[in-house]
Chain A
Amino acid sequence: MAELRGPAEVVVGIARRLRRRGLSASPDRVHLWVRALDALDPLSTDDVARAGRLTMCATREEQALFDEVLAAYLAEQRLDPGAQLLTVPSELVVVELGELDDGAGGEVDDEELAVPTASRIERLAATDLAELPSLDAELLALLLRAFSGSGRTRRGARRRPARRGRADPAATLRRVLAAGGELTEVARADRRPKPRRLVLLLDLSGSMAAYEEGLLSFAYAAGRQRRPTTEVFTIGTRLTRVTDHLVGADVGRAVAAASAAAVDRGGGTRLGELVKAFSDRFGQRGLARGAVVAVFSDGWERGDPALLGEQMARLQRLAHRVVWANPRKAQPGYEPLAAGMAAALPHVDEFVEGHSVAALVELAGVLLGATDRTSARRPLRA
C-alpha cells in the first residue's frame, strides 16, 4: 500500500479487515461511511470511528468488533487514536472504492486456508471434540446448517387470516362493509404456529472442560439461526445466562465472551441444585414451558442424585421435551453408572451422545424435531 494516510485509505483498509473478520462490509455501506464522513470532519480519526460505527455495524457486537479492528489498524499504521489524517484529493476515494468492488484487492490473506475436502471434514466431524484442538469454519458451518430447519412449533394464541379455521367476525364485517352490505365470503382466522423455545443447559464443570468450546459453538449456532427463541444457560456450580453473549458475526469472540461470563466453569457440579435454580428463576415462569430443553452433561453429580431426579421430573413436566446429551455415551461399553445420570435418565425423553460435530448435528435434528424417534412420551431406559 502507498504511504497515504488519508481518510479514503483508512476507510478502505478497515473495510477490508472487517470483511476478513466476517462482517459484511458491502460497497454500499462503505459508500455510506464515506458520505457520513463527508458530513463530519474527515480528517479526524475520532469522526472516522464514529461514522464507521454508525454505518458499518448492525449490532452492538459488531460495533465492538469494529472498535477492535480500528484500534488494530491505527496501531499498525502508527497513528494515535484521535490523530489527524492527511488531506487526500477526493478522486482517490472513488478510485479506492472501485478497487474495493473486486474483492480483496491486491493483498492476499496471510492465513491461507487448507483446501477443505469432503473426507477431511467428515473425518473431523466424527472426531471426539475432546481430541479436536478447535473448531474450524467448515465444522461451524455444519452446525449452522444443522439449525437451519424450521423446528418444532406449537399453536400460538394469536390468530391470523387463513383459508380454514374459525370465522373471524370483525374481518367478515369489514368485508361486508367494504362490499356495500353484502356478505360475499366469510373471513376466517386460524391460530398461527409459534416456534417452540429451545433451552440449552450446558454443564461446563471440570469433567466437561474438553467439550466447552464445542458446546458453546453449538449453542452459538442455535442462537444464530433461531435467535429469539433460543436461551442458553451454563450450569456447574452457578447458573449463568449466556444467551446475550452468544451473538455477533464472530464466533470466536462470542464463545470467549460466554466462556468468560460463566465464571464457575471448571468447578465441581451440583446438577440437581442448578436445574432447580433454573426452574425456579426462569423455567417455571415460562421459559421452559412448552419448550424443548436440552441438558449437556456427563451426569457426574457432587450433590444428592435424588434431588437431580426430582428436578428432572419437574423439568419434564414443564417442558415439551427434555433431551440429555452425554459425550461419554459414545465410549464403547458405556453404562449410565454416574449416580446423577442414573437418577436423571427416567425423566428424559431422549438420551443422545453429542461428543462430536456429527453427533451434535444429529442432536440438532432431534431438537428441531426432524428426526423424532419417540413419538409418544414414554420413560426411557438405557
Chain B
Amino acid sequence: MSVDDDGHGGAGRRARPPFDSPAELVAALDEQDYLADEEMATACYLALALGRPLFLEGMAGVGKTAVAGALARSLEAPLIRLQCFEGIDAHQALYDWDFPRQLLHLRAAEAAGRHEAPDVLEHELYGRRFLVPRPLLQSLETSPCVLLIDEIDRSDDEFEALLLELLSDFAVSIPELGTVRAETPPVVVVTSNRTREVHDALKRRCLYHWVENPSYEREVAIILRRLPQVHERLAERVAFATRRLRARDLLKPPGVAEALDWAESLAALGADDLSPALASTTLGSVLKYKEDIEQVRATGLAALLDGAGLEEVGLEGVGGG
C-alpha cells in the first residue's frame, strides 16, 4: 500500500541511521537539544536495536514525551502521536471510513448515469481514497517513523488489548481492503504517568524504563539548553531550589517541565538570580497546589534557597549562598 507522497519514498531507504552504541545516541539526542542520561540512552538504543516498543513511566513533566520527539528528529523520521483518553476506540486510533464522501460518490455515480456491475461500484466505495487513517494506521504506512502513544494510563483495558495486537504484529487487517503491514516496524514509544497500572501483557512486549528526575548538573544543563535567555547563575539557583522542593513532602513535586517554566518566568521578569522575594511571586509557576504553596511559604522561602542542609538533597558543596 502506498503512502501519501512526501518526496522521500523509495525502496533503498534505510530504516534507521546506524547508532553503534548508546553513546552515539546520546550525541544524536544532544544535537536535538535532548540531554539524555546513560540509562535513557541505553533504553532508546535497545528499543531501536531489538525493535521493541519502549515503555516509559515516570512522574508528569520528566521529559517522557520530549524524548520521543527528539528521537524522531535524530532519526529524521516523522513523529506520529496518539494521545490517549478515556473511551478511545479503534475508530479514533486505527482507521475509519469517510461515510459522507462515500455517499457523495454514490450520488455522483447515480447522477452520471453509470451502469456498471454493482460490485465495481462497491469496490470503489471501499477503496483507499475513502479510508481515513488514524495515527496507528498512519504509523504502519509511514516507515520509518516514530509512533508516540502518549499517556496510555488514560485509556481503557479494551484499548490496551487493541494495542497488544498491533504491537506484536505491526499489521492491521481491514476487512474490505486487506492487511496493512509496516515495511519497517515503527519505533514505538509508550508513555504513562502511572495513574493506573497498565496490564502486564502489554508491558511484557516492551522494554520498561522508569524515568527519574535528572541530576542537578543535568537539570542546569537542560535549563540552559532549552532557555538560552536564562542566565547561568539563575539556572543553577532554579535547579537547586527545584531539587529542594522535590525532597519535600508535596502533593505534586515539580518536574523538569516546572523547573523550565519557573526559569522562564524569572527570566521574563528580568532576573538573573533567585531571591526569596522573587521566588515568592513566581512560586505559582513551579507549584500547582494551594497546599504546596502554603507549605513552602510557611517554612520560609529563604530556607529553600540557602545552602544549609544540603545533604538532604544530596548536593554537598553545590549552589547556595
Q: Which residues of A contact B (CB under 8 A)?
A: 24, 26, 28-29, 32, 35-36, 39-40, 47, 50-51, 53-55, 57-60, 63, 158, 160, 174, 177-178, 180-181, 227-228, 247, 281
Contacts and interface: CB of A to CB of B under 8 A. Distances in A.
B152 to A, nearest CB: 13
A40 B43 CA distance: 11
Given A63-B210, A227-B196, A228-B197, A51 B46 contact: yes
Contact of A178 (B52, B99, B291): B99
A157 B43 CA distance: 39
Interface in B145-197: 195-197
A253 to B, nearest CB: 16
B86 interface: yes
A177 B96 CA distance: 13
B291 A55 contact: no
Nearest to B158: A160
Nearest to A228: B196
Interface stretch (B201-209, B236-244, B261-269, B304-312): B201-209
A114 B22 CA distance: 48
Nearest to A160: B87
A158 B50 contact: no
A184 to B, nearest CB: 14
B278 interface: no
Given A26-B204, A58-B203, 14 more contacts: A29-B204, A36-B50, A36-B207, A39-B50, A40-B42, A50-B38, A51-B42, A54-B207, A54-B208, A55-B208, A60-B210, A63-B210, A178-B97, A228-B195
Nearest to A159: B87
A197 to B, nearest CB: 12
Contacts of A47: 42
Interface in B42-80: 42-43, 45-46, 49-50, 52, 57
Contacts of A54: 42-43, 46, 207-209
Contacts of B6: none
Among A24, A50, A63, the most chain B Cβ lie within 10 Å of the Cβ of A50
A178 B46 CA distance: 44
Contact of B208 (A26, A28, A57): A57
B207 A55 contact: yes
Interface residues of B, number: 30
A35 B195 contact: no
A102 B251 CA distance: 47
B50 A35 contact: yes
Nearest to B99: A177
Given A40-B22, A181-B103, A50 B208 contact: no
Given A39-B50, A51-B46, A63-B210, A58 B204 contact: yes
Contact of B39 (A26, A29, A50, A227): A50
A149 to B, nearest CB: 17
A158 B87 contact: yes
12 contacts: A32-B50, A36-B46, A39-B46, A50-B38, A53-B39, A53-B209, A54-B46, A54-B208, A54-B209, A60-B57, A63-B208, A180-B103
B10 interface: no
B49 A39 contact: yes
A22 B287 CA distance: 38
A28 B208 CA distance: 15
B100 interface: yes
Among A36, A160, A247, the most chain B Cβ lie within 10 Å of the Cβ of A36
Given A54-B209, A177-B100, A40 B87 contact: no
Contact of B106 (A50, A160, A180): A180
B49 to A, nearest CB: 4
Nearest to B200: A58
A371 to B, nearest CB: 27
A281 B291 contact: yes
Interface in B196-228: 196-197, 200, 203-204, 207-210
A236 to B, nearest CB: 15
A262 B56 CA distance: 29
Contacts of B39: 50, 53
Nearest to A227: B197
A138 B7 CA distance: 63
A61 to B, nearest CB: 9
A235 B234 CA distance: 40
A376 B46 CA distance: 58
Contacts of B86: 158
Given A174-B99, A177-B100, A39 B52 contact: no
Contacts of A281: 251, 291
A40 B210 CA distance: 20
Contacts of B204: 26, 28-29, 58
A347 B38 CA distance: 55
B155 to A, nearest CB: 12
A240 B130 CA distance: 56
A47 B204 CA distance: 20
Contacts of A228: 195-197
A40 B49 CA distance: 9
Interface in B72-120: 86-87, 97, 99-100, 103, 106
A38 to B, nearest CB: 9
A19 to B, nearest CB: 15
B119 to A, nearest CB: 15
B57 A39 contact: no
Nearest to A64: B210
Contacts of A60: 57, 210
